[in-house]
Amino acid sequence: MHQRTRAIAAGGATVVIFLLVQAGAVALAGPFESAGYRAVENPSNPTNSIAYVGAILVATAAMLAVIKFDFDWLLRGFVILSSGLISLYVFSVLAPPLSIVVGGVAINPLAIGPAIVLALALLLYPEWYIIDAAGVVMGAGAAGIFGISFGLLPAIVLLAVLAVYDAISVYGTEHMLALADGVLDLKLPVVLVIPLTLSYSFLDDAPATDGGDEQESVEADGGDTDETSADRPDADDRDVFFVGLGDAVMPAVLVASAAVFSPAKPLFAGFALSLPALTAMVGTVCGLVVLLWLVMKGRAHAGLPLLNGGAIGGYLVGALLSGIPIVRALGLGPYL
């Protein structure tokens, strides 16, 4: 298969993964809400978004410090433990109810078992398909939880602020480049690994990143840390794409939020997907296609401005088509 064809196929696989995360977030939103997994008491409070952005800044600084002082084991352990915890939330609402009392605590082995297997697989054999499978589970779970925790206005504010922050951190301070360079070698499920050939092995690879590749870990690209912008490889010269898991999760938060909080009716019985949620998915995919096109041209680019912008624009189009006034679609009604 020609390399360019492989790159297009890899791009298609990336789109499929994004759609799985978004559809999974919508499917999990209802069960999560019923199980009481909402992260905040008042999801309509826009200050929740600011608090979450502050938490991201603190977490980013902590991760950079851990990488700088070579405490890689600490970061690896934290991410794998978080992966197991998020997957436990997911499996707990998907698994048939079964309780076994251990030490006075009721547990569901059908939920905790797969979560432990996923965490152990990430720890012992983090091949690209393990990373991607875990990324889909974690991404859908995280987006579902935040989707029911952020109403429409807080979700839009969150995506807008993170898009600006992403652009600054990639084009300005470039600290995301240092962060991505540090986490790629740790083989953690904070990136989605999209190989261009089935023979590619993430275990045997030691990915290095440049401005584009770091971006790839948080956005999408590939290259070497010593390369200039002009030297970054295009689609004909690379074996793998890296896309940050956060790039898949953040737009999916608005998709899930639209499915839960939009007054538009679901399109399908038994599935919460409404027209605004669907068009938010379409907008995200449009932004992703543009991002992948830039990556294939060898250009570094921040992902969230395109992805979050596409999700917000798509959501608003769907809301207007559903007959929802723009003020209500933006969640501004209580403030006007």
Task: Report how far apart the first and last C-alpha atoms of the chain are (Å, whole number).
Answer: 57
Q: Over pLDDT 90: what percentage of the chain?
A: 48
CB burial readout 244-271, b (16+ within 10 A) else e: bbbbbbbbbbbbbbbbbbbebeeeeeee
More confident residue, 327 or 221: 327
130-144 confidence digits (pLDDT tens): 999 999 999 999 999
176-206 confidence digits (pLDDT tens): 666 766 677 778 888 899 998 878 898 887 5
73-131 confidence digits (pLDDT tens): 888 898 999 999 999 999 999 988 777 766 666 778 889 999 999 999 999 999 999 99
218-276 confidence digits (pLDDT tens): 344 433 333 333 344 555 566 788 888 999 999 999 999 999 999 999 998 888 899 99
Name the pTM for this structure: 0.86
Q: How far is it, in rounded angstroms, from Cα 203 to Cα 29? A: 34
What's the pLDDT at 221?
41
